[in-house]
Amino acid sequence: MTSDMIIKFFNCLKAEKYNIYGPEIQDDESDILELQEVPDLKLLEKVSARPYKYHLMPIREVLYKYKDNKLKEEFLKTKKQAFFGMSVFDLKALELYDRVFQNDVYYQNNRKNLLAVGYSSIPAKNYKTIFFTIDEKILENIVFDVFIEGTKFYAQSYKGEKILKKCGLKYKKIDYNPRKEDKKVLAIKKVVETSKDSKLWEELGKICLACGKCTIACPTCFCFDIESVLGPEKKAERCSGNCFYDDFTRIAGGHKFLNNPKDKIFFWYYHKFVRIPHEYGLPGCTDCGRCTAVCPVGIDIEKNIVKLLKEVKNKKR
């Protein structure tokens, strides 16, 4: 793919009145911002420091207001937006969000005008991860509208086909065909599910600061709180939740179910690798590496899962 073709596609999106979001350097790191021009290809080849999710699920979003003794739902006025340059890992996260919030009218309102544009400078099947299977069928197993791979364009939706035709670009149609079961996901699920007594959690509990940066950077974390706002403008807001924060599991009487970093980090891993695969059949971690990159004490999620897998393997000997 020549950069000219990417520029042509990008300019076509602008001509079609899309607000385009993608990686851009801000404060010395790659954030997801509104783009006015095509980002540097080297920037597209890397996973951005920040996830795309906050443009679909805002940190704070008004759900409804109470006025004249009536409840009125509030929906964001969504414009056509394109997420440009999403990696395979970000598209797997989008697939999970679509599954989790398939009946959420607020998410669907934000999602309806989105064009998901994936990008890879190498064949997508050549990516490596232990968290889910990547092979020659990977483009069938991720969610996108348009995917740019090397010298090729792919479309998976009517929206994707429509815009590529509008741009005069040749493409191949690929149907979405999610895996019914993924052996890698199931293997990790089984290991984490039975790891409560592993010394790993003690080790991590001693160094984890419970700062919550990992969940903020994670593209798949979707927990939220509902807050009632009193005053002149009575309303209810959905705001991002964080299982590392003290108030996450606090109930009446001040009791908390998660009282220390050890319990919190085990809870987080268990949610990623056990509950999410069990409930949705998808990986709760896509191995994007963001949580490892932002962790102030260097906790590496991939190394920890590999360690648990080795523990089980050694027990079988």
* pLDDT tens digits, 236-254: 899 999 999 888 877 777 7
242 contacts 248 by C-beta, under 8 angstroms: yes
Distance CA 227, CA 245 (A): 16
Neighbour count for residue 35 (Cβ, 10 Å): 19
Within this chain, do residues 114 and 205 fall inside the same structural domain, yes or no?
no
3-state secondary structure the chain: CCHHHHHHHHHHHHHCCCEEEEEEEECCEEEEEECCCCCCHHHHCCCCCCCCHHHCCCCEEEEEEEECCEEEECCCCCCCEEEEEECHHHHHHHHHHHHHCCCCHHHHHHHCCEEEEEEECCCHHHCCCCCCCCCCCHHHCCCCCEEEECCEEEECCHHHHHHHHHHCCCCEECCCCCCCCCHHHHHHHHHHHCCCCCHHHHHHHHHCCCCCHHHHHCCCCCCEEEEEECCCCCEEEEEECCCCCCCCCECHHHCECCCCHHHHHHHHHHHHHHHHHHHHCCCCCCCCCHHHHHCCCCCCHHHHHHHHHHHHHHHHC
17 and 162 co-located in one domain: yes
Per-residue pLDDT, 316: 66
Does the pLDDT at position 10 exceed 80? yes
Give yes or no: residues 165 and 82 share one domain.
yes
Domain extent for 288: 184-316
CA atoms within 13 A on the CB side of 110: 23
Whether 169 and 43 map to the same domain: the answer is: yes
Domain identity same for 246 and 141: no
pLDDT for the residue 224: 92
Domain boundary pick from 135, 159, 179: 179
- Indicate if 201 and 278 belong to the same structural domain: yes
Q: Are 148 and 96 in contact (CB under 8 A)?
A: no
The strand pair at 114-120 and 19-26 is best described as unpaired
Same domain assignment for residues 197 and 166: no
**Per-residue confidence (pLDDT) for residue 78, from 0 to 100:** 79
Residue 231 has pLDDT above 80, yes or no: no
Contact 205, 261 (CB under 8 A): yes
Same domain, 32 and 130: yes
Alpha carbon 19 to its chain's center: 20
What would the pLDDT profile of 265-287 be if each residue is shown by its tens digit? 999 999 999 999 999 999 999 99
> Average pLDDT, whole number, for the chain?
91
Total number of domains constituting the chain: 2
Q: Final residue of a domain: which of 179, 200, 231?
A: 179
The pairing of beta strand 152-155 with beta strand 146-149:
antiparallel
Give me the residues paired with residue 229 across strands: 235
The pLDDT tens digits of the residues spanning 186-222 come to: 999 999 999 999 999 999 999 999 999 999 999 999 9
Residue that has been written with the tokens 């393997």 in this structure? 313
172 lies in the same domain as 223: no
pLDDT of 62 strictly over 80: yes
Q: What is the pLDDT of residue 1?
A: 45
Say whether both 89 and 120 belong to one domain.
yes
Tokens of 65: 């207001």
Confidence bin at 228 (pLDDT 50/70/90) = confident
- Closest to 148 measured CA to CA, from 98, 81, 86: 86
Sheet-wide strand order for 70-73: 70-73, 60-67, 235-240, 224-229
Q: How far apart are the first and last CA of the chain?
A: 49
Q: Is the pLDDT of residue 98 over 80?
A: yes
Q: Residue 236 in contact with residue 203, Cβ under 8 Å? A: no
Provide mean pLDDT across the span 93-106: 96
- Tell me, what's the pLDDT at 292? 96
* Out of 52-66, 68-82, 274-288, least confident range: 68-82
Say if residue 148 is in the same domain as residue 231. Answer: no
In the listed set 179, 200, 234, which residue is the last one of a domain according to the structure? 179
**Count of beta carbons in the 10 Å neighbourhood of residue 104:** 14
Shared domain check, 95 and 129: yes
Q: What is the pTM of this model?
A: 0.92
